[in-house]
Amino acid sequence: MPTKEVTIAIETDGVVDPGFPIIRKYAYEQEMAFNFDETNQENIGVDDLRILPGSDLFGNMITGAFITGDQQFHCRFESTAVSQTSNGYIQVNANGFVLALGANLLQEETAVLYMNTAAATNQIKGLLIGDAWYAD
């Protein structure tokens, strides 16, 4: 079973903050890396959300996500299960990112939706993992 290890280190003026670094290792069954350029969507609105390529192929569970862009974008995790559908967007500023690990982001028919809100072409990249669990 493949594993991913993530280390989060937060420092203030070169000194590691108390409680860091945090190191987690996850075993997983599915993964999908992505890296693509998205052109600006003019006059964007709620109906202009697009499915992150491949995110709808995970079947029943996305348990980890890392998504970043070099321009501002919005993303939303969505499922056909009413209790799992997010009505809100996460606005991610240029060079910011969304990271979720050890989570049940989506169940049943799932998709990660996004829209490029920047005036320029946006390079969107990241990684999705499915059916993952904490591994010592």
For the stretch 22-55, pLDDT in tens is 999 999 888 889 898 887 665 555 556 777 776 6
Residue 48 pLDDT = 63
Q: CA quadruple 74, 94, 124, 66: dihedral positive or negative?
A: negative
CA distance 29 to 79: 20
Q: Which sequence spans correspond to the domains of the chain? A: 29-130
| DSSP code of residue 50 | E
Confidence band of 110 (pLDDT split at 50, 70, 90)? low
Token representation of residue 43? 């006059």
The CB density around residue 53, as the number of other CB atoms within 10 Å, is 13
Do the beta carbons of residue 27 and residue 1 sit within 8 Å? yes
Residue 24 pLDDT = 93
The CB density around residue 41, as the number of other CB atoms within 10 Å, is 16
Confidence band of 118 (pLDDT split at 50, 70, 90)? low
Q: Which amino acid is at 72?
A: Q
Do the beta carbons of residue 130 and residue 26 sit within 8 Å? no
Cα of 40 vs its chain's centroid, Å = 20
CA distance 62 to 53: 14
Residue 20 pLDDT = 97
Q: For 3-14, how does the pLDDT look when each residue is reduced to its tens digit (9 = 90+)?
A: 999 999 999 999
Domain 29-130 has CATH 2.60.120: yes
